[in-house]
Amino acid sequence: MIGLIMFAITLILLMVGFPVAFTFAGVAVIFGVLTQGVDLFAFMPYRIMSIMQNTILMAVPLFVFMGIVLQKTKLAEQLLEAMGDLFGNVRGGLAVSTILVGSLLAASTGVVGASVVAMGVISLPVMLKHNYKKTLSTGVICASGTLGQIIPPSIVLIILADVLGVSTGDLFKAAVMPSLILVGGYIAYVLVISYLDPEVAPAFKSKNHDLKKIEKYKAVAKAIVPPITLIIAVLGSIFSGIATPTESASIGAVGSLVLAFFYQRLNWEMLRQSSVETVKVTAMVFAILVGATAFSMVFTYSGGDVVVEDFIHSLPAKEMSFILISMLVIFILGFFIDFVEISLIIVPIFYPTALSLGIDMQWFAILIAMNLQTSFLTPPFGFSLFYLKGVAPKSIQTTDIYKGVMPFIAIQVTLLISLIVFPQWYGFNGS
């Protein structure tokens, strides 16, 4: 029971507000010394060296840098305005353009916070100005901003690929169909609710409305084509086998700088700020990873993984029971813990059991990613809700945001259930 006590104490400390990396490492050291002795940690240098030599994880700072550059140069803002020109004259069109831009930002950056904040600053005032309902406006921004969790090249997919021992490129391919269906579900909901109630999302005239068609298309093309070219270069190089995920991440990082130069926004100050923020985010991820490795090692040596595995094997319909329990645990923890901690701490606990049950690891990884995306939206502690509230006008109440995300949570949960019940629809073997 030592492993379970470790887990409970860690969860309490996290909820109190202790730093994540130091919490996991500290609990691991205390329980490791008390139960196994100091000699247990003689293995830690080898584990840390293994992390540092993992070439897959090199993609994390490169994709983070790409996303921060696109945010700093305001290319995301330009992309949103251009999409608004394309869909603005359709009822609910601005909301549809926000969803599509969220998808493009996700495929460009994989950084949820950056996407939600960017669209909250740019898109929310425009939607409110054109009499969009507050609930729909906030819900669309939060939901589309979290697409970075599931649309490649997602940071969480890179981490899950490493934790579950699957190919990052194959996992990216596996995430494409669920991603497209989820985006389609969002758009369908917006169009249906706009059709049923015209006052929810009326059509509006964009700033380029009075331009000639050819001039409008030139303006839109200039804003949309380069970022899409970058996305195709990054994902296409992975899917075609030309480059590994790490190599494609370097393509994305260099490509973001090329775009900044193309739009005449490349300067030393932007480059310095982007580099510093990338180092901060990367240091946070790897500090958590080292702490998680120590926690996982002590948890395993204390027999905690055996307790979890024995419990699952004692249940009827072991495979489905395991999937349901693991998804429920991750969903609940998602209310309180960030996706990085869940991916690096909770998933390794479930991994041996999933392996022993013969579960398709790509399928399991996509389920986890979809679940973690839902956790970004769930009140009262969904991170996307906080991101948007931080940049929203004073007229937007927290309850408006909570009400707005509910339909999108329902869409995500419906898709997650379909992934669990009908994995063959998405090309998975299941269990």
CB-CB neighbours of 184 under 10 Å: 12
pLDDT, the chain, mean: 79
pLDDT on residue 262: 85
pLDDT for position 187: 93
pLDDT of amino acid 115: 67
Decide if pLDDT at 401 tops 70: yes
Mean pLDDT of all residues in 381-397:
75
Band (351; pLDDT cuts 50, 70, 90): confident
pLDDT digits (tens, 9 = 90+) for 288-297: 778 777 877 7
For the stretch 30-72, pLDDT in tens is: 888 887 778 777 878 877 887 777 776 777 788 778 777 877 8
Q: Which residue would you say has higher pLDDT here, 337 or 237?
A: 237
Q: CA-to-CA distance for 8 and 12, rounded, in angstroms?
A: 6
Q: What is the pLDDT of residues 165-195, one digit of tens each?
A: 898 888 988 998 999 999 999 999 999 998 8
Confidence of residue 88 (pLDDT cuts 50, 70, 90): low
Q: How many C-beta atoms lie closer than 10 Å to residue 414's C-beta? A: 12
Does residue 209 have a pLDDT over 60? Answer: no
pLDDT digits (tens, 9 = 90+) for 221-258: 777 788 778 878 877 777 777 877 778 778 888 988 99
Asked if residue 410 has pLDDT above 90, the reply is yes
